[in-house]
Amino acid sequence: MIGVIGGSGFYSFFGPDARRVEVDTPYGTPSAPITIGAVGDHEVAFLPRHGVNHEYSPHTVPYRANMWALRSLGVRRIFGPCAVGSLTPDLGPGSVVVPDQLVDRTRGREDTYFDSGGIHVAFADPYCPSLRETATGLPGVVDGGTMVVIQGPRFSSRAESRWFAGQGFTLINMTGYPEAVLARELEMCYAAIALVTDLDAGIDAATAVRAVDVFAEFERNMPTFKKLVHEAIDRLDTERTCTHCLAHQGVKLPFELP
């Protein structure tokens, strides 16, 4: 089964014929019931990251419950569509980017399932190369970039924005962590597909980022963006062959994965 976790403004993926599944986990309930439908030959489980009515801010999303619930349903590969700001004028609103690196600037988020047992996962390359290759093979998609993930829910100051850009980061987001590392701990392939909604405050000196503008830009691009995610899923092989994301080979875990 393929998973899709929709970001801000991306609250549905299927029509009314999709079945709805409620899942409980050791980490509480996920952001919303999961809907399951078909995309081509693939069975797909969709979960809105912020809830169906955007109930969860970036720092309150139940990330551990979300990822655990998807794996318990049989999901092993996940696309994570998300809204991002751009830290370079080369990537304007409407650009679609598949990042290859992330930098964590969040704090206090529950970001592991392994509070005991001395389990350490490799995270040098945080995104699944197989899923990335599938998505970047689509027309107009930008291959690569570093996404810095900030705590939120506020946007960056101009000084922070210029600082991030000066480090060579290209995208800024509030939800990409710990989602990616939790997927790795659960041995699920994961790749973000980022839709640029704005130039960040330090890049566009004439304006400041406003939530209403971000949501409007995301909504304006939503039909095309959903179509792109469908096409990425269609390009996937029926069977998962990736071994890059099998983080626990040769390691005894303190509990069984779902």
Greater model confidence, 207 or 122: 122
Catalytic residue, from 200, 204, 234, 237: name it: 200
Tokens at 163, concatenated: 């600082």
Architecture of the domain spanning 2-235 = 3-Layer(aba) Sandwich (3.40)
Residues in the annotated binding site: 8, 49-50, 174-175, 198-200
Residues in the annotated binding site for phosphate: 8, 49-50, 175
Catalytic residue, from 41, 125, 198, 234: name it: 198
Q: Is 213 known to be catalytic?
A: no
Q: How large is the average pLDDT for residues 2-11?
A: 84
Q: What is the per-residue pLDDT across 45-76, written as a single tens digit (0 to 9) for each?
A: 999 999 998 899 999 999 999 999 999 999 99
Q: What is the separation of C-alpha 217 from the centre of its chain, rounded to a whole number of angstroms?
A: 18
Q: Mean pLDDT of all residues in the chain? A: 92
- Checking if the pLDDT of 202 tops 80, the result is no
pLDDT of residue 205: 63
Q: What is the per-residue pLDDT across 35-50, written as a single tens digit (0 to 9) for each?
A: 999 998 999 999 999 9
Q: How large is the average pLDDT for residues 153-158?
A: 92
Q: What is the per-residue pLDDT across 85-100, written as a single tens digit (0 to 9) for each?
A: 999 999 999 999 999 9
Q: Is 200 known to be catalytic?
A: yes
Query: Does the pTM of the predicted model rise above 0.85?
Result: yes
Residues in the annotated binding site for substrate: 174, 198-200
